[in-house]
Structure 1
Amino acid sequence: MRAQADLFGVENSQKRPSETTACKPKVRGAPKSAVASPRKVQFLTIDEVMKRYSVSHATVWRWVKHNEHFPAPVKLSPGTSRWSEDQLIAFENRARSRQSGKRSKTSQKAPV
């Protein structure tokens, strides 16, 4: 009978690279306190998106369908959608910059 392969496709009789006796070289660089830990990605439910913008359920879905700038939800399963908070923040920042651009253009017009 042939030996079964584990999850990594390596037969049990073979050693994985992590099981070798060679020591890994120490990496010297920034101190641990200076290294930024990866930020967890936060996903919001439709109720949280509704509260964030003070709009209805239908309005959120209308924005998804008709507003090319509004982030599309991530489909986790049928009937389960979530919005990336990072994408929503980027959307808000773009909307602010568009608004400030419109204001500066109107304020630069010469009075008639």
Structure 2
Amino acid sequence: MKLRWFLQLFILVGFLLLGYGMVTFFHIPLPGSVVGMILLFVSLLTGIIKLEWIDEASTFQLKHLTLLLIPPIVSLFISSKVLDVLQWPVLIIIIVSSISCLLATAIPVEWYEKLKRRNAK
């Protein structure tokens, strides 16, 4: 069980490193993690990588994502330098973009659930 989980994690880290390598080699103006995620997405869509091959490790990471992100975010807001940079226009942009991201996620999910319930009847 643990060996399988580590192999799945190895696949995910492999795509991350592949993304960083491509950014360095081709001078792509994107973060390596984003390029690696795009490569993983394309590999999943084309069937090169099966979802079962990375399911457990990716589910574990998604489950604990907030735990990994909360301490750095809190330490940023505690830092006095960040409070100097975050003035009203920046705070308004952060709040509006957060709300629009929530709505852009919630509305399609709600639409999909209604469609799924309608088709189940």
Question: Please, what TM-score do these two structures have when normalized by structure 1?
Answer: 0.30
Question: Please, what TM-score do these two structures have when normalized by structure 2?
Answer: 0.28
Q: Would you tell me which structure has more strand in proportion to its own residues?
A: 1
